[in-house]
Amino acid sequence: MALEFPDDLKYLDTHEYARVDEDETIVTVGISAFALDQLGDIVFLELPDVGDTVEKGETFGTVESVKAVEDLKSPVNGDVLERNEAIVVSPEQIADDPYGDAWLIKIKADNLEDLDDAMSADEYREQVEGG
Amino acid sequence: MTSLRTPLYDLSADLKARFTEFAGWDMPVQYSGIKHEHHAVRTAAGMFDISHMGKFFLRGQGVLAALQKLVPSDLSPLQPGLAQYTVLLNPQGGIIDDLIIYYQGTDTDGTERVAVIVNAATTDKDKAWMREHLPAAMEFEDGSRDRVLIAVQGPEAIAQLQRVTAEDLAQVGRFGHIAGTVLGQPAWLARTGYTGEDGFEVMVAAATGQALWQTLHENGVTPCGLGARDTLRLEAAMALYGQDISDNTTPLEAGLKWLVHLERAGNFMGRAVLERQMTEGLSRRLVGLQMAGRNIARHDYPVVQAGEAIGIVTSGTLSPTLGYPIALAYVTSAFAKVGQTLAVEIRGKAYPAQVVKKPFYKRSS
């Protein structure tokens, strides 16, 4: 079964995705289907609190599978507007809908140009499936 | 260096297993998912390719007496068809490896036949140690590379295996073993395992192993990888060599006192250190920890108490059966009592935990 990488998202080489909202001010961050497939069963998520500042390329949280702990990197500088409490409580459901219900945090971005060097869906697919 | 592959590699690849390098072998870490595989073993039956484990066959006069000098467990109760879980000790009382010694029988000329199954990562080390310390006249065959070893584990494991063998498996007790057949081919079956469930470990030739794997799979046994093997053994508080036990930990520190028979085992390697620890007490002990919250303690995380480092986590996971994080950790003996509260430092923050009884999980039957 081929993994999906929606075209309207930007992707980091550390496997987070970023979705820019219609007002172009808020960035929703989640984990790509590829990374979730690699990690296997997710058992724990640690996310920043609302109001925390996050920095582009810096760790904002962690995701744990049964076997491994991975840092989560922010795609932009900004402030955390919202975090997905439902997915923190039930992290095992994250792979069911990674691009929908299983988003992690929403960031009020300082500058969307932070995303200019992130990958398109095609570029990301090339990276994870090409090699 | 390319990794070794077991004779079951292609069958696992066909099942879309994810592989990982382990002790020089390319081994399946998961098939359908660690949790799913874990629950299959707890509720039905799972099978593991453990062909990577070290498999030695010792033949000669006085093999058991020679082995007795290397382990702290009394081997004299061993009868043909029985096995003993124990540890190889170095002169400092540290654990060279944990292993199972299977006494297969004695020929009419007095030749004892013994099989020894050891960890994959320590196969070469154990082999060198045993060859150095066992009689040179003894025959030592290393079957580690060519024999298939499949562990079938879970409440339905015996019934599943009974479908492919003529031997009456119910007659084989815990830590018992028999030479017989599966699928009409020579096989050796031992009622041992590393999951906390009932089951057998079956050793066969490569082709028989492939046929057995496929037949068990068709009959509904769930293929399981090293990931589930680790969560299962940790719930059962079984030590993982290289993590929970090592050359620098003694069996007493590791909570393996039940393997140390000072009165009966004679003058084995490392005895003086264990005697001293028995008299003077232990400075640290391996304990079971239950985390109060959802944060998972992992290997090498510090254990703290009132701001002081008092120990180190050796293994940790979210227990799939219990639903909360569990861990094994060495802590200063003063903090090793069941009920003791302490904390594990996870990414710079201390999270509360409690010392609990081991094992974390025990099967009901």
Per-residue pLDDT at A1 exceeds 60: no
* SS3 readout for chain A: CCCCCCCCCEECCCCEEEEECCCCCEEEEEECHHHHHHHCCEEEEECCCCCCEECECCEEEEEEECCCEEEEEECCCEEEEEECHHHHHCHHHHHHCCCCCCCCEEEEECCHHHHHHCECHHHHHHHHHHC
Tens-digit pLDDT profile for residues A19-50: 999 888 899 999 999 999 888 889 899 999 99
Q: How far is A23 from chain B (nearest CA, A)?
A: 36
Q: Flag if A92 and B35 touch (Cβ within 8 Å).
A: yes
> How far apart, in whole angstroms, are the C-alpha atoms of residue B270 and residue B272?
6
For A40, name the nearest residue in chain B, comparing CA atoms only.
Answer: B33
Q: Flag if A40 and B30 touch (Cβ within 8 Å).
A: yes
In a domain, A51, yes or no: yes
Contacts of A66 in chain B (CB under 8 A): 34-35, 227, 231, 317-318, 320
Average pLDDT, chain A: 93
Kindly indicate whether the ipTM for this predicted assembly is greater than 0.85, answering yes or no: no
Mean pLDDT of B239-264: 97
CATH of the domain at A122: 2.40.50.100
Per-residue pLDDT at A131 exceeds 80: no
Mean pLDDT of B213-234: 97
Q: Among A30-44, B180-194, B278-292, which stretch is predicted with the lowest mean pLDDT?
A: A30-44
Structural domains in chain B, CATH included, are: 9-53+145-235 (3.30.1360.120), 55-142 (3.30.70.1400), 283-356 (2.40.30.110)
Tens-digit pLDDT profile for residues B30-63: 999 899 999 999 999 999 999 999 999 999 999 9
The letter for the amino acid at A28 is: T
- Among partner residues B33, B294, B295, which is closest to A41 by beta-carbon distance? B33
Mean pLDDT of B130-144: 93
Count how many domains chain A has.
Answer: 1
Residue-range definition of the domain harbouring residue A82 = 10-130
**A69 or A98: whose pLDDT is higher?**
A98
In a domain, A2, yes or no: no
In a domain, A94, yes or no: yes
Q: What is the pTM of this model?
A: 0.90
Q: Flag if A43 and B33 touch (Cβ within 8 Å).
A: no
Among A1, A46, A67, A93, the strongest candidate for a mutation testing the B interface, having the largest count of B CBs within 10 A, is A67
- Among partner residues A40, A44, A92, which is closest to B296 by beta-carbon distance? A44
In a domain, A114, yes or no: yes
Identify the band that residue B340 occupies on the pLDDT scale cut at 50, 70 and 90.
very high
